[in-house]
């Protein structure tokens, strides 16, 4: 395959490594670990793996290691840097013993269960170094939660001589890894399970993990796009740009992007929840800033909106929870209704008084999105709710009232954007 001059240069780049990973290494066993909270409950759930010691990798003398076969799985959504994690595993294995092998399971955890895999060789690895995406072996969202799945995994690992399985994923995927590790330990399979923290959302961290890989690159990509829009807004001077940012339930991406771009407005979902703000209070906050800029003849700006905001507004959080339960209970009757308007009326009639009031206060298109297809667990797919459009519409309505009252003398024209997939597979 012919590659460009830029690709050739990128392929030459070697990420910096800590001294402990250069040359010989040794593993130092530390104190027993424990969960931050609910220690006894978690210990009961994971009796074989809870409290394992903290391991530290340090520089050591060169040692001869036996050949080791390892499997790797990419799980969940993409994040910049995934290919380099796999490249690093490959390089590390080969450096310790050239006879070691790395197997990649195709399409995520389902590849382990369905025995779909390839051996990752130097020629394959070298095509993907320093590139974004997860296309080297593909990813997937299959949950490992049944004994039959665990046993199928053992079967293929034994067939390939795999003694360690690396699962690269986010919080759900690492929960899968924990459950799998517990089962493999309980049944003395001799297979290690290692979880590698991956998520652009930035919500998988502790005192030992400063941030998961992917977050930094994704935020830089989004910030560049936001900066381009800001320059355009300052040039045209006639549009407010409402930009929804990926991040699922966490607002880390929004916060990092506003720090990098100094956008006019950034809503932080966790702050909204802490202050117990209503949707109207969030709308009023935005409208006041729009009005203040308009008074300075600045009828333009940028507002950053976290993807999961709607779940953090107390009244809407209750509404969403009630919708999940209600639609599960009344699924047959709900699905039998064809007209969208009738579905909306039906749901409004069976909600509690407070939730019905919150539901009716929303624009029709948002009501429809809240009633759209659920995820595999029966929950509202929050990422598909056009929160930025909801806020644009409600801010416009509020400004219209203020204009009639003489409180707002400017213009409000808005554009909406959603930045998500643009950053997940960027070059790291």
Q: List, by residue number, the catalytic residues.
A: 201
String of DSSP letters for 220-280? HHHHHHHHHHHHHHHHH---EEEEEE--TT--HHHHHHHHHH--SEE--HHHHHHTT--HH
Is the distance from CB of 240 to CB of 252 less than 8 angstroms? no
Beta bridge partners of 102: 70
> Taking Cα atoms as reference points, which of 268, 194, 257 lies closest to residue 226?
257
- Nearest residue to 249 via CA among 232, 272, 227, 229: 272
Please give the C-alpha separations between residue 408 and each of 73, 90, 282, 356, 369, in angstroms, as whole numbers.
55, 61, 18, 31, 31
Q: Where are the alpha helices (DSSP H) in 305-370?
A: 314-329, 331-336, 340-350, 353-360, 364-370
Q: Is the four-CA dihedral 244, 247, 250, 255 of positive or negative sign?
A: negative
C-alpha to C-alpha distance for 217 and 88, rounded to whole angstroms: 18
Q: What DSSP line would sit under 210-221, residue for residue?
A: SS-BTHHHHHHH
């Amino acid at each position: 395959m012919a590659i460009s001059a830029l690709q050739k240069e990128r392929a030459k780049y070697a990420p910096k490594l800590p001294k402990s990973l250069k040359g010989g290494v040794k593993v130092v066993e530390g104190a027993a670990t424990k969960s931050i909270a609910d220690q006894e409950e978690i210990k009961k759930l994971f009796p074989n793996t809870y409290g394992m010691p903290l391991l530290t990798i340090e520089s050591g003398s060169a040692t001869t290691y036996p050949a080791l076969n390892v499997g790797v799985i990419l799980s969940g959504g993409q994040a910049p840097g995934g290919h380099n994690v796999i490249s690093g595993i490959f390089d590390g294995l080969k450096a310790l013993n050239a006879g070691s092998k790395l197997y990649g399971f195709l399409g995520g955890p389902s590849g382990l269960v369905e025995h779909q895999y390839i051996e990752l060789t130097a020629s394959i690895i070298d095509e993907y170094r320093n590139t974004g995406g997860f296309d080297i072996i593909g990813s997937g969202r299959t949950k490992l939660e049944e004994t039959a799945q665990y046993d199928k995994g053992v079967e293929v690992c034994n067939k390939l001589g795999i003694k360690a399985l690396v699962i690269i994923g986010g919080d759900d995927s690492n929960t899968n890894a924990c459950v799998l590790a517990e089962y493999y330990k309980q049944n003395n399979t001799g297979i290690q399970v290692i979880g590698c923290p991956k998520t652009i959302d930035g919500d998988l961290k502790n005192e030992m993990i400063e941030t998961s890989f992917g977050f930094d690159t994704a935020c830089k990509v989004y910030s560049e796009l936001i900066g381009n829009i800001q320059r355009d807004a300052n040039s045209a001077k006639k549009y407010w740009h409402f930009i929804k940012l990926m991040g699922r339930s966490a607002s880390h991406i929004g916060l990092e992007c506003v720090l990098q771009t100094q956008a006019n407005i950034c809503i932080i979902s966790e702050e909204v929840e802490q202050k117990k703000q209503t949707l109207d209070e969030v709308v009023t906050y935005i409208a006041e800033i729009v009005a203040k800029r308009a008074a300075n003849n600045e009828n333009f700006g940028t507002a950053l909106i976290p993807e999961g905001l709607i779940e953090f507004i107390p009244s809407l959080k209750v509404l969403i929870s009630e919708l999940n339960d209600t639609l599960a209970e009344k699924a047959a009757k709900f699905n039998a209704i064809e007209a969208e308007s009738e579905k909306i009326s039906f749901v409004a009639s069976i909600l509690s008084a407070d939730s019905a009031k919150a539901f009716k206060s929303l624009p029709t298109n948002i009501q429809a999105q809240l009633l759209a297809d659920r995820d595999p667990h029966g929950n509202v797919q929050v990422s598909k709710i056009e929160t930025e459009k909801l806020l644009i519409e409600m801010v416009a309505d509020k400004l219209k009232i203020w204009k009639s009252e003489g409180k707002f003398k400017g213009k409000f024209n808005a554009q909406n954007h959603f930045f998500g997939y643009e950053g997940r597979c960027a070059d790291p």
